[in-house]
């Protein structure tokens, strides 16, 4: 057995079991304990494991169906970008209350953002004030939000075999997301989004090409069953192929997990699946499309919520921007107020809300408590530039206390 093969097998075992001993690996692979210690030390230097007395524990379970590499030369290719990163440890979580686990299944996109004074009119060219390229996608953003809001998060997504696949791996390795499953498509590129952000009011316009996000297979859904079974909450959106989303929702329902569906971008094809959804979180536009009611205020939001509930969703939570959110739970309405914010960029507001909501529910809070926490968290997100830029647990806690 080659050196790289043995280390790969050791890493795979730790990835699955989270910990292992020098004695076990020595007996399993027929090599000396000193050789195993050397293997574990190398993996620790690469930021994949943490050495402890008599063995090692995993730092980040990165379950890859294929290596994030265009060369495909072997395990060492996967380790190259990680080797330069500092290992994540418990000190990085100082002050954060980590309770509950959230499984986020969704999209990873590359966001190409142009900041403009105002949105261009038809046929008009505008000079942008600034531009940027970075990680995005509702799934990745919501996974980031949930992890920053205090949950242990496993994120599952799919990218292409292109120059952006490494961006995905680097972003996830550098994030506070605990673990991830990242598949690769042979036929489609990494998803991308073109985003205009207006300086007038912070509003945004987005065009998305889903790419690899729409190629999730049945076997890839089944492969994350173990992560789902150890989670408290499943959070999904609609930027992936519908058959995969439905399969995972039904799997989570069968396992007794709380299922949160953020129906964005909206599709009425998800309606037959609503009886398996515990909380659906449309914004005003999505609620209008699902219900047929033009949601303009709280009264019309109530009409829309009742219609969506009749479709099978157990609880309906309509987000309404500066008007807060409307919750329908067991035929009772609650108004979740918005928190004051100085708006810079609303692009990631919905993702911040959904991620924080999932984190709070996973921690065992009631839906009203979770929605209030999510509202505070999202109010901070709109003060930051970029959809993937999220506040942290302590900031959201301070805002909640200040304006409670």
Which member of 232, 310, 351, 392 is catalytic?
Answer: 351
With a CB cutoff of 8 Å and minimum separation 6, the contacts of 48 are 11, 14, 58, 59, 60, 62, 79, 82, 87
Contact 383, 342 (CB under 8 A): yes
232 in catalytic set: no
Alpha carbon distance 237, 244 (integer Å) = 11
Alpha carbon distance 386, 171 (integer Å) = 14
What are 138's two structure tokens? 């509702």
Per-residue HEC secondary structure of 263-302 comes to: CCCCCHHHHHHHHHCCEECCEHHHHHHHHCCCCCCHHHHH
Alpha carbon distance 127, 115 (integer Å) = 9
Residue 318: which of 336, 339, 341, 343 has the closest Cα?
336
First vs last Cα of the chain: how many Å apart?
A: 61
What are 256's two structure tokens? 């007794």
| DSSP conformation class of 383 | T
Alpha carbon distance 193, 208 (integer Å) = 4
Contact 254, 275 (CB under 8 A): no
Annotated binding-site ranges for substrate: 109-111, 137-141, 239, 351
Annotated binding-site ranges for ATP: 283, 319-324, 350-351
Q: CA-CA distances (angstroms) from residue 247 to 240, 253, 324?
A: 12, 10, 32
Alpha carbon distance 235, 152 (integer Å) = 13
Is there a cis peptide before residue 41, judged by omega within 30 degrees of 0? no
- Supply the residues annotated as catalytic: 351
């Amino acid at each position: 057995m080659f050196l790289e093969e043995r280390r790969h097998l050791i890493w795979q075992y730790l990835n699955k079991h989270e910990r292992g001993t020098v004695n076990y690996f020595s007996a399993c692979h027929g090599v000396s304990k000193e050789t195993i210690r050397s293997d574990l030390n190398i993996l620790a230097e690469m930021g994949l494991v943490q050495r402890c007395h008599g063995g090692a524990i995993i730092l980040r379970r990165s379950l890859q169906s294929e290596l994030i590499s265009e060369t495909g030369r072997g395990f060492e290719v996967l380790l190259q970008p990680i080797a330069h990163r500092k290992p994540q440890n418990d000190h990085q979580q100082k002050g954060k209350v980590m309770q509950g686990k959230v499984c986020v299944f969704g999209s990873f996109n590359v966001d190409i953002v142009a900041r403009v004074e105002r949105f261009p009119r038809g046929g008009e060219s505008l000079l942008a004030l600034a531009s940027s390229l970075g990680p995005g996608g509702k799934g990745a953003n919501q996974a980031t939000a949930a992890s920053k809001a205090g949950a242990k998060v496993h994120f599952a997504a799919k990218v292409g075999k292109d120059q952006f696949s490494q961006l995905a791996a680097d972003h996830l390795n550098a994030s506070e997301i605990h673990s991830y499953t990242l598949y690769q498509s042979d036929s489609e590129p990494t998803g991308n989004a073109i985003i205009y952000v207006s300086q007038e009011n912070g509003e945004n316009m987005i065009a998305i090409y889903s790419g690899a996000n729409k190629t999730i297979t049945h076997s890839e859904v089944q492969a994350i069953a173990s992560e789902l079974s150890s989670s408290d909450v499943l959070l999904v959106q609609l930027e992936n192929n519908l058959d995969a989303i439905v399969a995972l929702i039904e799997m989570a329902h069968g396992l007794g997990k709380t299922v949160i569906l953020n129906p964005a971008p909206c599709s009425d094809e998800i309606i037959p699946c609503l009886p398996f959804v515990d909380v659906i979180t449309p914004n005003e536009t999505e609620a209008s499309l699902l219900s047929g009611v033009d949601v303009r205020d709280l009264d019309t939001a109530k009409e829309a919520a009742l219609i969506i509930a009749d479709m099978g969703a157990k609880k309906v939570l309509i987000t309404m921007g500066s008007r807060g959110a409307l919750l329908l739970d067991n035929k009772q309405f609650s108004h979740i107020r918005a928190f004051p914010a100085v708006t810079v960029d609303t692009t990631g507001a919905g993702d911040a809300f959904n991620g924080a909501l999932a984190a709070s529910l996973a921690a065992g809070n009631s839906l009203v408590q979770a929605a209030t926490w999510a509202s505070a968290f999202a109010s901070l997100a709109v003060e930051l530039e970029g959809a993937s830029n999220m506040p942290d647990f302590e900031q959201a806690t301070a805002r909640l206390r200040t304006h409670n």
